[in-house]
A and B are shown apart, each in its own frame.
Chain A
Amino acid sequence: MDKKSEIKNILKILETILLENDETNEVDTEKVIQKLNSAFKEKDASRYISQNLINELILLAKRIYIKNENNNHFEKSNREQITVAYQGIDGAYSHIASQKFFSDKDYDVLYIGLPTFQAILDSVEEGESDYAVLPIENTTAGSINESIDLLSNRKLHIIGEEFLEINHCLLAIDDIPLGRIKTIYSHPQALAQCSIFLSSLENCKVESFFDTAMAIKKVKEDQNLTQAAIGSSEAARIYGLKILKDNISNTRENYTRFFIISKKPVVYDESIPCKTSLLFATKHVEGALVRCLNILAKHHLNLTKIQSRPRHNVPWEYIFHIDFEGNTNTDKVKIALNELTAEVSYIKILGSYPIKILPGYLKTFEKNDQEKEPLVLEDLKEIPRPEIKILEKKPYRLAGRYYKQDDTLIRVRDCVIGGNDFIVIAGPCSVESKTQIFDTAKIVAENGANLLRGGVFKPRTSPYSFQGLGYEGLELLSQAGREYNLPIVTEVLRPEDVQRIAMVADVLQIGARNMQNFPLLNEVGSINKPVLLKRGLMASIDEFLSAAEYILNQGNQQVILCERGIRTFETATRNTLDLSAIPIIKHYSHLPIIVDPSHAIGDWRYIIPMVEASIAAGAHGVMVEIHPEPEKALSDGAQSLKFDNFKIMMQRVRKIKQSLNTV
């Protein structure tokens, strides 16, 4: 028997075994290996069949198992048909890739072509489609940036990947000699992938088109003998075009990789080899990226892709997209991601999905973890840190010191919160008018405070009180911030406003009344912007840190805590400022903590001493309310400082900070 027929023989054996398993819908790896061994013996398969081949067969078995799992998933959802959205029209590569991924599944698939990537993701998010098939990179032309950018602010999951070998052909309405073609239409990616061939054509111009299939459609419809398009042989078949030249790509092996996107994540069994895709932002410190990658190396997680993308609205900062081999459902990956989370300022897990096996891809799985030396690079060995005494197990994990010993530093443009600087956030309780916010911003900037605050959505105790100017107010706040070069902080009340406010505000505030609004915490946890979390009126320190945990757990590591007074029996002051919470929180958590004396005391006359006390207690900053005319303020006038008092306050801040720094 030659190798080929031997493998065929083995596959037959395997099929029999798997069909048996199909009835029970379970694959017991041990049992499969046992059966394989005895089957091989029985059929007298030669010794050529090594353990490696058995391993490969197991992988294959698992893939069939996944398919079954997926099928089950759909049977459960009680639908006869699933809908898959792709970008383009019939015959587009995305269409072919969709068919390739879904064709071997046991259900009817309705493929819908939509004009843009955005539209296909919208369609999944809104539940009109079950899946979207999104091209992510090409082995010749590189990453498709738009796809990655779109995934970064969606709540969607990657549940699979597909590779499509792109065999670009030159298509025309009839068999025309190449020399007569004057115009070639195609998508820029396709044009780039065929650049060598295209430059060899004389007297021919190249025009980029929105997608390959649309270009083909145009050639078909125009019926012009001098036009040609680049596309697949499949497209030629669909549109009845002739292939003038086959395989015109620059490289012979030209693949495009697609992500299969779903609204719900799929948890794959840990025995299935998976890849995990994620996005993260590093802190602005030396070696931050190396540290992150080293964590993967340390845990033997093979990095298969890394790419950086610019951060929106934050020039010269980047988000990294990485893929590595591993499944978030395994302990190994969980531990690594845990460590990674402590090193980053933002992390978003896009999903874990079964690896689509390409020729030559399996190699990395042959190594045995235990045999490998730990991969810690000499220079990056952990610096010994003072031992922190942990007295008891806390309900929070990511927020705790035992998870991350170093203080978290949060950058908001020029200032760093959580370090040695004392940050002052000042501004009116509510944005009331253009004049009011501009006048205030001017004073905030002139006196050297760091951030401008201003409420536009106001959570007021009475439903009849002024509720804020909304997005109109946000625009005013943002204009004032730009005018005086101050980052802005504003409160968000509803999950649906988070994305929109995050486009404009530098820091999103969660008010005391929303400290345990868990859907809102989850939402701000999924964005890459610092969050100022105020302590609830009756929240214990454990509850406070657990609320922060909600945000951290979603991937956003940039949480600034804010003590703003708790409710006690004392009525002489609006609340009781719990300054002891500052050293306590600094002991148990790595997150920065600032103080809001305005709400804690509720009387402008006592603000300055409490600002001074906050510095002395070790707070990383304060947030105070100031107003050009407190007596006319639409909210919280009694606790707002006038501009001249704010000036005195800032002088005191500098004086005390200076004196404490000299210790």
Chain B
Amino acid sequence: MIIVMKARATDNEIGAIVNKIENLGLKAHISKGVERTIIGAIGDERQIKQEQFEILPGVESVIPILKPYKLVSREFKPENSIIKVNNEVKIGGKEIVIMAGPCAVESEEQLITTALKVKEAGAKILRGGAFKPRTDPYSFQGLGEDGLKILAKARDITGLAIVTEVMDTTEVELVAEYSDILQIGARNMQNFRLLKKVGQTKKPVLLKRGLSANLKEFLMSAEYILSEGNYNVILCERGIRTYVEYSRNTLDLNIIPVVKKLSHLPIIVDPSHGTGRYDLVEPMSKAAIAAGADGLMIEVHINPAEAVSDADQTLKTERFFELMNNLKPIIYAMGRDI
């Protein structure tokens, strides 16, 4: 249930409502918009009646949210959420934010060379896996904390923000110490303990869509994080599993306008995993931006042929420069900036 406050509602009036919600054993979530404040009462709604709140001072209306996701819904927050990553980078605003880097951190030299290149090309965020969830248990599993240290060093040198994946509840604090954004991988989209744990931090979370998660399930996973108090969630479409034989996954760009309609959260696209083919990265990046995505996450390697993981979908640094150049016209045509 959401309680929409009148435009001139006072802080006292808002406080009274929050108290009442908490007294009923529910959680109150406040969304302060440009014009008005909306308070979400989240929990077992059977405890409360609409009329209880409608009569309170400062309340304009009380609307039950029929959708299973509440805090991520547009009803709860009509304006787009803009997620602040650092002083410079914000996701969900006018600017299209490009995250780029290797699939995995392999060595200091590899990462820093790549970081310098992607920064030069115009990326704002450096990606790189230190903990790698690999399908095959015998594949390279990542450098772990050493990898995180290399990432942090790359940030110090380049000024790029860092996004890296966290796989385990016990490692959330460790990763949060080094990274600017915590990434929840597709295979962990419904690892609810992990979602709760990252929900308890204040770090922005990049939530990737599960391989066979439908939109409702995807938004419900985001709801887990928001319900713990962390509203800094960035959604990421990275392709779903279909029968199609030529691409690793089927990039579902349909959901971008749908997400934009249903939710206030920003959504970015990962065409590298979405297609699994480096030659499809550019057309699908353009398409993603045209469909309304707020950013892209792209795998870049100084020498893809030698990459320890995901070589087929990784762009060479030269090609990444080309891509960044070729994206500009469509970004401007969409009325966005880079």
Contact = CB atoms under 8 A, between A and B. Distances in A.
Interface of A: 538, 540-542, 565-566, 568-573, 576-584, 587-588, 600-601, 603, 605-606, 609-610, 612-618, 655-656, 658-660, 662-663
Sort chain B's interface into a size bin.
35 or more
Between B212, B257, B287, B326, the greatest number of chain A beta carbons within 10 A of the residue's beta carbon is seen for: B287
Nearest to B248: A580
Contacts of A655: 333
B333 A573 contact: no
15 contacts: A566-B242, A572-B216, A572-B254, A576-B250, A578-B250, A581-B244, A584-B246, A587-B279, A606-B258, A609-B257, A612-B290, A616-B283, A616-B291, A655-B333, A659-B332
Nearest to B333: A659
B138 interface: no
Interface of B: 212, 214-216, 240, 242-247, 250-258, 261, 274-275, 279-280, 283-284, 286-292, 326, 329-330, 332-334
Contacts of A579: 251, 253, 284, 287
Given A568-B250, A571-B214, A660-B329, A609 B286 contact: no
Nearest to A577: B254
Given A583-B280, A617-B287, A660-B333, A576 B254 contact: yes
Contacts of B257: 601, 605-606, 609-610
B280 A584 contact: yes
Between A540, A578, A662, the greatest number of chain B beta carbons within 10 A of the residue's beta carbon is seen for: A578
B286 A616 contact: yes
B333 A569 contact: no
A601 B255 CA distance: 9
Given A570-B240, A618-B283, A584 B247 contact: yes
A662 B333 CA distance: 11
Contact of A582 (B255, B283, B288): B283
Nearest to B334: A612
A587 B252 CA distance: 20
Given A584-B280, A659-B329, A660-B330, A573 B287 contact: no
Nearest to B330: A616
A609 B326 contact: no
Given A609-B257, A613-B287, A616-B286, A578 B242 contact: yes
Contacts of A610: 253-254, 257, 291
B292 A583 contact: no
Contacts of A614: 287, 290
A566 B216 contact: no
A606 B250 CA distance: 19
B279 A663 contact: no
A659 B329 CA distance: 5
Contacts of B253: 577, 579, 610, 613
Contacts of B333: 655-656, 658-660
Nearest to A607: B257
Nearest to B274: A580
A663 B322 CA distance: 11
Contacts of B212: 569
Nearest to B281: A583
Contacts of A571: 214
Nearest to A583: B283
B240 A576 contact: yes
Given A566-B250, A587-B279, A578 B330 contact: no
A593 to B, nearest CB: 12
Nearest to B251: A580
Contacts of A570: 214-215, 240, 252, 254-255
Given A569-B240, A570-B215, A659-B333, A576 B252 contact: yes
A566 B255 contact: no
B272 to A, nearest CB: 12
B215 A613 contact: no
A660 B325 CA distance: 12
A538 B243 CA distance: 8
A538 to B, nearest CB: 7
Nearest to A584: B246
A613 B329 CA distance: 13
A448 B242 CA distance: 36
Contacts of A582: 283, 287
A615 B216 CA distance: 28
Nearest to B252: A576
Given A576-B252, A581-B244, A660-B330, A616 B214 contact: no
Nearest to A606: B257
A573 B258 contact: yes
Nearest to A571: B214
Given A566-B244, A572-B258, 11 more contacts: A568-B240, A570-B255, A572-B216, A576-B252, A580-B247, A583-B283, A583-B284, A613-B288, A659-B333, A660-B329, A660-B333
A659 B330 contact: yes
Contacts of B258: 572-573, 603, 606
A510 to B, nearest CB: 20
Contacts of A538: 243
B240 A617 contact: no
B244 A572 contact: no
Contacts of B215: 570, 572
Contact of A609 (B246, B274, B290, B332): B290
Contacts of A616: 283, 286-291, 330
Sorted from nearest, which 3 A-B pairs have the closest CB atoms? A659-B333, A616-B286, A616-B290
Given A578-B250, A579-B251, A663-B329, A612 B291 contact: yes
